[in-house]
């Protein structure tokens, strides 16, 4: 079928919205008509070259919509079902899925490269085969995905907001409740209040944290962080140190979560300076893949028994996490509408990323009519 999509053709070039040819679903695949797609920073990393994505690629990996067609052998969904697309699929059979770490699934990792399991593409433009971000490509009204990437949800949920839990909300929330192990009464620092940071603040709040310190140089984001549950806000990690010391009587934070747009190795030492003995520093942000140097004190890592942890998809299994996140939304415990700063038509994807880079968005959302 003919449809349209936003494609990254070259590093450093704007997104190009153009007509594409989309193949029908093959075995184990489904075609989804999307309602919305979040503008996650990870797609921008493909444009800047911070992550080694093969180009050209249809952007977008945070979407929700309605199943329109299923391929042979599909059993988990049917036409008419409402689904949220998870950017990491899980096979349920590999070592990681079987040991409770479905976010590290081997099959999901393979499809993260932008191709289906058979190694061929489903999208074509300008006479070329085009990959899709994490094999989803949600910057298009229609996409064909593996059924393992689609999580069925209740039909009365707003699909535009449900799209957010496909990546950013679940990643940030899980960074707090799973990776940082936030407990009632904890003091938590969240560094970077974008889509993931806002969700990390909410995760810390739902987990019962007493003090949640938001760190961001953009003043209005600190105000918005308080809507999500932050108790305090400062512009930098350096400014957070005396505040956290005062709040904890010198003990320092139980955990600090790094959710900035682009992470660098010299951010780790100040991140760990915010946490107490045996405290946890969590890195959820993406670092340019060419960077391999981290600055930190190995002495305090050992003698103060501090921990530095990475977090992918909040350490959640998509099939479990997505219904849980939407249940929290139903109960009024998870704010999704408040996370959407602006909505854009597909043609304005580039404007959405310009707004993100300029600090004007918590989360931009592409909506399809």
* Span(s) in the chain for CATH 3.90.180.10: 2-166+336-367
Task: Examine the residue annotation and report whether 99 is marked as an active-site residue of this protein.
Answer: no
Task: Examine the residue annotation and report whether 42 is marked as an active-site residue of this protein.
Answer: yes
Task: Examine the residue annotation and report whether 37 is marked as an active-site residue of this protein.
Answer: no
Task: Please state, in angstroms and rounded to a whole number, the distance separating the CA atoms of residues 5 and 219.
Answer: 34
Q: Residue 34, class by beta-carbon neighbours within 10 Å (0-12 exposed, 13-18 middle, 19+ buried)?
A: buried
Catalytic-role residue among 41, 61, 211, 232:
61
Burial readout 308-343 (b: 16 or more C-beta within 10 A, e: otherwise) = bbebbbbbbbbbebbbbbbebbeeeebbbeebbbbe
What integer pLDDT is reported at residue 50 of this predicted model?
Answer: 85
Assess whether pLDDT exceeds 90 at residue 125.
yes
- Distance of alpha carbon 212 from the chain centroid: 21
Catalytic-role residue among 167, 175, 211, 255:
167
Catalytic-role residue among 37, 40, 90, 148:
40
Q: Please give the model's pTM, rounded to 2 decimal places.
A: 0.96
Task: Examine the residue annotation and report whether 91 is marked as an active-site residue of this protein.
Answer: no
Indicate if the alpha-carbon torsion angle 23, 119, 90, 260 is positive or negative. negative
Which pLDDT tens digit goes with each residue over 308-366?
999 999 999 999 999 999 999 999 999 999 999 999 999 999 999 999 999 999 999 99
Find out if CATH 3.40.50.720 is the number for domain 2-166+336-367.
Answer: no
Which pLDDT tens digit goes with each residue over 166-212?
999 999 999 999 999 999 999 999 999 999 999 999 999 999 999 99
Task: Examine the residue annotation and report whether 167 is marked as an active-site residue of this protein.
Answer: yes
Q: Which CATH superfamily is domain 172-311 in?
A: NAD(P)-binding Rossmann-like Domain (3.40.50.720)
Tokens 């999509």 -> residue: 5
Which pLDDT tens digit goes with each residue over 94-105?
999 999 999 999
Assess whether pLDDT exceeds 90 at residue 51.
no
Which pLDDT tens digit goes with each residue over 233-285?
999 999 999 999 999 999 999 999 999 999 999 999 999 999 999 999 999 99
């Amino acid at each position: 079928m003919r449809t349209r999509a936003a494609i990254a053709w070259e590093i450093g070039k704007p997104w190009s919205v153009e007509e594409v040819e989309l193949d029908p679903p093959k075995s184990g695949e489904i075609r989804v008509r999307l309602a919305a797609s979040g503008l996650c920073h990870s797609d921008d990393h493909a444009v800047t070259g911070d992550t080694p994505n093969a180009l050209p690629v249809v952007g977008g990996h945070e979407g929700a919509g309605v199943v329109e067609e299923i391929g042979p052998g599909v059993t988990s969904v049917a036409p008419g079902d409402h689904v949220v697309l998870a950017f990491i699929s899980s096979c349920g059979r590999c070592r990681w899925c079987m040991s409770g770490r479905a976010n590290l699934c081997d099959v999901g990792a393979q499809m993260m490269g932008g191709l289906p399991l058979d190694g061929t593409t489903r999208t074509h433009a300008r006479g070329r085969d085009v990959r899709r971000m994490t094999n989803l490509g949600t910057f298009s009204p229609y996409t064909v995905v593996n059924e393992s990437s689609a999580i069925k949800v209740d039909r009365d949920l707003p699909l535009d907001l449900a799209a957010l839990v496909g990546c950013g909300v679940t990643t940030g929330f899980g960074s707090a409740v799973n990776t940082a192990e936030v407990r009632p009464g904890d003091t938590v620092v969240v560094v970077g209040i974008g889509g993931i940071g806002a969700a990390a603040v909410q995760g810390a709040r739902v987990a019962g944290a007493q003090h949640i310190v938001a760190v961001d140089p953009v003043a209005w984001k600190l105000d918005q962080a308080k809507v999500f549950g932050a108790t305090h806000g400062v512009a930098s990690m350096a400014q957070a140190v005396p505040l956290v010391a005062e709040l904890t009587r010198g003990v320092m934070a139980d955990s600090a979560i790094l959710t900035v747009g682009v992470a660098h190795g010299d951010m780790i030492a100040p991140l760990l300076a915010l946490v107490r003995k045996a405290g946890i520093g969590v890195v959820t942000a993406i670092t340019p893949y060419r960077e391999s140097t981290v600055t930190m004190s190995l002495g305090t890592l050992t003698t103060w028994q501090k921990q530095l942890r990475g977090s992918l998809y909040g350490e959640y299994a998509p099939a479990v996490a997505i219904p849980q996140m939407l249940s929290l939304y139903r109960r009024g415990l998870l704010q999704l509408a408040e996370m959407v700063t602006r909505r854009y038509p597909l043609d304005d994807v580039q404007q959405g990323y310009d707004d993100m880079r300029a600090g004007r968005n918590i989360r931009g959302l592409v909506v399809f009519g």
